Amino acid sequence: MAATTTHRAGQGSRLGTAVTMAVLVLLAVVYIYPFVVQVLTSFKGNADAVANPLGMPLVWTVDAYQRLFGSSDYPLWFRNSVVVTLAVTAGRVFFNSLAGYALARLRFPGRGLVFSCLVAVMAVPGVVLLIPKFLVINTLGIYNTFAGLILPLLVDAAGVFIMKNYFESIPASVEEAARIDGAGPFRVFWSVVLPMARPALITITILSFQGSWNELSHFIVAASDRDLFNLTRGVASLTSGALGSSADYPLKMGAAALMTIPVAILFFVFQKRIMGTSDGAVKG
Amino acid sequence: MSDDQPRRAPRPGGARRSASGGQALSGWLFITPVIVILGVFLVIPIAMAAWVSVSDWNGRGNPFGGAAGFVGVDNYAAILSDPGLQRQDFGTALRNNVYYVMLVVPLQTIVSLTLAVLVNRRILQARGFFRTAFYFPSVTSTVAITSLFLFLFTASGAVNRLLATIGVDGPNWTQDARGVLHILLAGLGVDSAPVALQGSPLLGVSWWNWLAGPSLAMSVFIIMAIFTTSGTFMLLFIAALQNIGGEVEEAGVMDGASGWQRFRLITVPMLRPTLFTVITLGLIGTWQVFDQIYTAGEAGGPSKTTLTPAFLSYQTSFTGNRWGQGAAIAFVLFAIIVAMTAVQRWVLRERDTVPRRKRFVLSDGTLAADAQGGR
């Protein structure tokens, strides 16, 4: 009796698994194929891209990439994106963890107030701040400078929270020992606690890198100088048809594919960590 | 679980006082950079924008040094009550965004939950591969994805080729301003506004146009939003599903519940906190449609059917030089987002709270919010 039940359940779930698998494969194609089209199109000639949007290139060519690097500002945009992203990521990792540590461990008057203010700040939607941000950047005289591109992004409230939560999970006894040995607060933070917060630091790094690499709206209001365009701004100008690119699909797809590579690498390197938010999180 | 108790070993009085004095100083030192930067680039700007929204600043000179005059609520009146193009544009932008929210929020929630349930099958092979495939669009930039989708949906593009293989003659998506509901009505023989719907009582947009549905061009952005956000939300759902664990599921099997019954009666109620998070993030995110409209470079075209309040606010200020009005639109948008979230909180309010899990989901939710907003 028990054996038959198990048997039947097994059969049913095997059929179910096959159906699930088929549905998943179909869905995976839907999610992946657009990127395949993107990459393939970038290796096509213009006429080929329009006439044959789905298949392999008739003739493989790197013409689009040559034009991207030869006659557009792509290298400049790339460099600007790298500069801004590295500065923002470094700033966020450092300042967010400093503040997160203070909120988690140090007792100072006004801590509760600071905490509530951060919660309130997180609730403000980003696009609402476009005009306000421009006003302050303009007033401070850092419009059209790297300072204007970088400074406003240098900390983020969400990152402070991630660090705070993590620091709270580290046993306090470790710090006590160092403190009794006479280490000052910064020393304790820098050489004792921070090295223990590696997983959270990696999370912050990924989020900051991805966030600032993909950021567009802030850069639109912080600068108009073409020398300060970063990748999102530059590729957006290509997409909307600047430089006579309105029907130059291989160029556009190449530009979009290339700008995706750095975040894609980051994603694949830290895949376990990103996806791991689910695996083994609270299990057991 | 974390608590906010001070973690100090009891110490003799003198040392203790100097230690907490040191803590107070370093506490403030540690947090100062965050306070200064958020204060200068977030709090002060909001105050400045509040002033600009009641001024007539035209972009020249310093609006805080006499280059702008006080005009009271004129800017708000121009977009909310005064008949004219500005009010009509704002009404159109609101209509477009309302349809976007109404379609994207439920669809992305359903799609991401479906993906999570499918991927979470324990016996499934290659789970990692599928998770990666579904999540990957979430890490790419809106600019790159917009560029790609505009290409996929051109008149002779990939999507229409695929439609052609099943005998459907696809439209010129990105240039087609016809509303989806209007197209359906036209199919029923109604192709112009009935008399009853010719009035324009709300923000200068006629009933007929309020009921147009999203244009085909906007539909492309709707599909794109689902494509790019479902992976992030899928991860939240997977985390929650793994929290539920197998025991509850097994109990359901013992009680003879079918698969669908178990899903509907056991899984979904237990996912409530996560559903709440996903819908909240969805509502906040879908009112902030800007990057894709900017990238498309059509200024909200065709026929303003992809205009959104966020883009209209930018355009009004930066190209229209009506900074007061642009700022006013931003504040009205802010109010809408706050109101929507409040309404949703009230509708989905929890009768039985599960504080532990909620906290866990919330800390994950901030990750998703960040990934989605790209801030």
CB contact under 8 A, B48 and A275: no
CA neighbor of A183 nearest in space, from B345, B91, B19: B19
Indicate the domain borders of chain A: 9-63, 73-239
The number of CA neighbours under 13 Å toward the Cβ of A251 is 26
CB contact under 8 A, A102 and B158: no
CB contact under 8 A, B149 and A34: yes
Neighbour-count burial of A14, counting CB atoms closer than 10 A to its CB (0-12 exposed, 13-18 middle, 19+ buried): exposed
Rounded to an integer, what distance in angstroms lies between the CA atom of residue B80 and that of residue B84?
10
Rounded to an integer, what distance in angstroms lies between the CA atom of residue A133 and that of residue A137?
6
A147 in contact with B at a CB cutoff of 8 Å?
Answer: no
* Element containing residue A171 per DSSP (H, E): none
CA neighbor of B238 nearest in space, from A273, A276, A27, A264: A276
- Give the pLDDT score at B126: 80
Q: Which residue of B has its CA nearest to A104?
A: B4
C-beta atoms surrounding B351 within 10 Å: 5
* pLDDT (tens digit per residue) in A123-145: 788 888 898 899 899 989 999 99
Which of A24, A46, A127 is the best residue to mutate to test the B interface, defined by the most B CB atoms within 10 Å of its own CB?
A127
CB contact under 8 A, A263 and B245: no
**Alpha-helical regions (H) of chain A:** 2-42, 46-51, 63-71, 74-105, 111-122, 130-139, 146-150, 157-169, 173-180, 185-187, 194-196, 198-214, 217-222, 231-239, 249-269, 271-275
Contact list, A210 vs chain B (CB under 8 Å)? 139, 371, 374
A238 in contact with B at a CB cutoff of 8 Å?
Answer: yes
Residue A192 tokens read as 């004792």
* pLDDT (tens digit per residue) in A144-198: 999 999 999 999 999 999 999 999 988 888 888 888 888 888 888 998 899 999 9
CB contact under 8 A, B310 and A127: yes
Residue A158 tokens read as 């969400």
Type of residue numbered A187 = R
Contact list, B8 vs chain A (CB under 8 Å)? 176
Residue A260 tokens read as 């995706």
* pLDDT (tens digit per residue) in A7-36: 444 555 677 778 888 999 999 999 999 999
B21 in contact with A at a CB cutoff of 8 Å?
Answer: no
Contact list, A172 vs chain B (CB under 8 Å)? 7
- One digit per residue, the tens of pLDDT, for chain B of length 375 reads 344 444 444 444 444 445 566 778 888 999 999 999 999 998 888 888 899 999 988 888 778 877 778 988 999 999 998 888 999 999 999 999 999 999 999 999 999 999 998 888 776 778 888 989 999 999 999 999 999 999 999 988 999 999 999 999 989 998 888 999 999 988 888 877 777 777 777 888 888 889 889 999 999 999 999 999 999 999 999 988 888 777 777 777 777 777 788 888 888 888 888 898 899 889 989 999 999 999 998 888 788 999 999 999 999 999 999 999 999 999 999 999 989 888 888 887 765 544 444 433 334 434 443 433 333
Nearest Cα of chain B lies from the Cα of A54 at a distance, in angstroms, of 6
CB contact under 8 A, B147 and A239: yes
A74 in contact with B at a CB cutoff of 8 Å?
Answer: no
Which structural domains are found in chain B, ordered by start?
85-179+214-373 (1.10.3720.10)
* Element containing residue B55 per DSSP (H, E): none
Residue B146 and residue B292 in contact, taking contact as beta carbons nearer than 8 Å: yes
Q: Tell me: pLDDT of A69 over 50.
A: yes
Q: Which residue of B has its CA nearest to A138?
A: B62
CATH class of A73-239: mainly alpha
Of A189, A240, A263, the CB nearest to B297: A240
Neighbour-count burial of B169, counting CB atoms closer than 10 A to its CB (0-12 exposed, 13-18 middle, 19+ buried): exposed
Cα torsion for A119, A123, A125, A126, to the nearest 10°?
A: 10
Nearest Cα of chain B lies from the Cα of A127 at a distance, in angstroms, of 6
Phi, psi dihedral angles at B158 (to 5 degrees): -60, -45
Contact list, B38 vs chain A (CB under 8 Å)? 118, 121, 155, 157
* pLDDT (tens digit per residue) in A193-231: 999 999 899 989 999 999 999 999 999 999 999 999 999
